[in-house]
Structure 1
Amino acid sequence: MAGVSETAADFTAQTRVLAGRVDSKYQPQILEAGDSFSAMGYALVDADGDPINIENARDLNERVSVAMHRNAYYGWGSFLPLTVPERAPQVRMSTLAGKETTYLEGMRVENTALISSAFDYWRIYECGIAVSVESFRDNWSREGQPPPPKHLTPLWTLVAIHSLLAYTVIWYGRRGIVDKHTFDAEKAAKDYATSMFQTRKGDDGVLSVEVRKDNGTVVFSHAEN
């Protein structure tokens, strides 16, 4: 997805700027953070699978922040809007997939006032795409502490599973997409599509089904007239 790639590339560039502004002892880990991170994109779509334009990204950001604080908060959270002027969300313009678009961005990494164990950056595009980038907290070690483990801890194992192993079953009828379901494993998605096809065909007029990976690759398809 172009939005994910662009946001991730900007995140890396921001860490390079920050590294040039801090004490030399922090530079190696900040540079590593710019190369070792997760980048997750979310698309808002309607029942037909078409993108939903976001008319008020600031309002959406506020609502997302409340939900993240309730369900996935550890002193910080994805899509967190700060209130200090130089770190508050800003509206910017960009070219995405050859088209000009507007997006709301979170605090830029070089504007941080704290060298923390992880850095993050997010964007919410008006075209219905939201992207969150965060460096691996497990890679960071503070002075006097042992080096980080050479493996993913449980936190980032879950992040990796979420971002890499998502498969979507998409049901199609005569007028387009009828329904979608997401699974963590390819086999589970394929088994569900196969076992439920006749039922969905009879109940909902389904004509075909696909299983797609997060990157859009079709790994299974079946159709009947």
Structure 2
Amino acid sequence: MQVSDQRQPVATPPPVAGLAGDGLEDLTEEWEAVCPRRIAPEQWQRFEGYMKEIFTAMGIPAGSPSTVDTPRRFLRAIFDATSGYEGDEKLVTAFPTECRGGPDCRISQVVEGPIPFFSLCEHHSLPFFGKAYVGYIAHEHILGLSKLTRLVRLYARRFSVQERIGQQLADALERILAPHGVAVHLEAVHLCTQMRGVREIESSSRTSYWRGNYDGDAQLRAEFFGLCSHWG
């Protein structure tokens, strides 16, 4: 089943241009762009038929009180779990920094976490989930703290891989804020390794991404990880 081939193209948020003045008007306009996915009723009906055929072949008894609506529920659940493709009209609320890029900004971290996230592996369409820690060193703008959570969810709620989500978060914060540095750390459990294949139930995956000052300053990275471990 190729659901994505049956709907209108999905757009990801475009790169943010350089800030002019305070830059917030242009910034907000860029990132408020959304692209709702539209699947016609007759398409949903056809897809449900496909899923009924697949589930029945896999062993689910068709038409029982518990399973008669399973194809519909499954498709709706997948659609809801991948809502990140549609963008987020409330993603950006940036404010001028109090220090206006002075020395305090270059040494002070803004760190948010742990931010729980759920995603679907694009290799097997099985869930992976965990916690994200996001930090940056402000220059001329800071981001509303709730928007860091929104940013994580924007990229996690897609078919993806952990490595890509971390890179997208780091790149997006660079484009939005032009900060002195960005740090992103993800810890996740992948059901594609627990439910199938090697069936490894003890391991988790950790990935980290650095931009700007974090990339060349081991002490900053250590402080960031110290905050992450403090939250557990």
- TM-score normalised to structure 2 length: 0.24
More strand by share: 1
- TM-score normalised to structure 1 length: 0.25
More helix by share: 2
